[in-house]
A and B are shown apart, each in its own frame.
Chain A
Amino acid sequence: EVQLVESGGGLVQPGRSLRLSCTTSGFKFGDYAVSWVRQAPGKGLEWVAFIRSKVYGDIREYAASVKGRFIISRDDSKSTAYLQMNSLKIEDTAVYYCTRDPHPHCSGTSCPHDHWGQGTLVTVSS
């Protein structure tokens, strides 16, 4: 069974940092791209970042709203992806989901998300 489990969320002050983890099982992690998608309370979905597999060049892309502050990475030996969030802002408050993105379904740029974790809540507040 494919599973993605996010962790590392919590309450953090504006300007501080937080690192989210996405631990996966049930599939060959290294064969897939991974994205982070967030959802502010009562709002819609916002894609945040993705990282392709090493076979596809380990390419990383970011939404304009987080570029320069967030860093996505992966450790295939641990089947885990990470999102390092720096210089956090109040508007970064959201549930953060990690997703599995199958390369055969991807365009030249990005991918749909065929499995999602349950999400971890990040609250940025003073």
Chain B
Amino acid sequence: DIVMTQSPDSQAVSLGERATINCKSSQSVFFSSNNKNCLAWYQQKPGQPPKLLIYWASIRESGVPDRFSGSGSGTDFTLTINNLQAEDVAVYYCQQYYTTPQFGQGTKVEIK
């Protein structure tokens, strides 16, 4: 199984500042059939189901604010939240779907 490791486990960021979450996979999730990386990011707010933010590592899901962006390739990926808003307080998960899906352990983003 591919192991997904996120860092940090939690992060406190001031309103309007940038949050950066890293995700590392134990092997490459690059899908040669379409030259894309099989990596998704989800946001989960307390008491709610997760919400898809990003897929193919960098494509924003419809309706997701453009302050959320994904980058990276191969085994190293980043979710960046620019201009952090109060409503962005949540746990964020990365997931690889190159093989049977595996999630990272989650990163909690709070307001400093």
Q: Do A and B come from one complex?
A: yes
Interface residues of A (CB under 8 A from B): 35, 37, 44-47, 50, 61, 63-64, 97, 105-119
Decide if B49 touches A119 in the complex (CB within 8 Å): yes
How far does the Cβ of A108 sit from chain B's closest Cβ, in whole Å? 7
How far does the Cβ of A57 sit from chain B's closest Cβ, in whole Å? 16
Interface residues of B (CB under 8 A from A): 1, 31, 33, 38, 40, 42, 44, 49-52, 55-56, 61, 93, 95, 97-106
Bound-complex Cα distance A47 to B55 (A): 16
Which residues of the other chain, B, contact A110 by a CB distance below 8 angstroms? Answer: 38, 97-101
Decide if A44 touches B49 in the complex (CB within 8 Å): no
How far does the Cβ of B50 sit from chain A's closest Cβ, in whole Å? 6
Decide if B103 touches A45 in the complex (CB within 8 Å): yes
Q: Among B93, B95, B100, which residue has its beta carbon within 8 angstroms of that of A109?
A: B100
Q: Is the interface of A mostly helix, strand, loop or mixed?
A: loop
How far does the Cβ of B30 sit from chain A's closest Cβ, in whole Å? 10
Decide if A108 touches B33 in the complex (CB within 8 Å): yes
Which residues of the other chain, B, contact A47 by a CB distance below 8 angstroms? Answer: 95, 100-103
Bound-complex Cα distance A46 to B52 (A): 15
Decide if B100 touches A63 in the complex (CB within 8 Å): yes
Assess A107 versus B98: contact at CB under 8 Å? Given A44-B103, A114-B61.
yes
